[in-house]
Amino acid sequence: QKEVEQDPGPLSVPEGAIVSLNCTYSNSAFQYFMWYRQYSRKGPELLMYTYSSGNKEDGRFTAQVDKSSKYISLFIRDSQPSDSATYLCAMQGANNLFFGTGTRLTVIP
């Protein structure tokens, strides 16, 4: 079983839609949960992080962590074409980040 599972998509939505991206994980010791955004032919960049359970909001982005279900989500409100990218969830291990495979999102104008 992989440490982190993420639906690879692809996901295609119209501009203005609400997007929901999700990951599940198996290691209950994970405490830090991150979302990275990766544009084509670029390296990943940190979008948001959450410590333990709860919600965190940053502009149009909301990250949620449910440790009891080992489930994390990223919501994008009022999605824009510039949000088209691959979104990677990641979780902090002892010396390493464990990444999901990424979900490719396309926002259609």
Site membership for other proteins, residue 1 (CB under 8 A)? no
By CB under 8 A, name the one of 19, 21, 34, 74 that touches other proteins.
Answer: 34
- Number of residues near other proteins (by CB under 8 A): 24
Site membership for other proteins, residue 99 (CB under 8 A)? yes
Site membership for other proteins, residue 54 (CB under 8 A)? no
Minimum distance of other proteins from residue 15's CB (angstroms): 27
Site membership for other proteins, residue 97 (CB under 8 A)? yes
Site membership for other proteins, residue 43 (CB under 8 A)? yes
- Per the structure block, which two tokens stand in for 12? 């295609």
d(CA 7, CA 103): 6
State which amino acid sits at residue 48: M
Specify the residue for token string 């940190």: 46
Minimum distance of other proteins from residue 68's CB (angstroms): 22
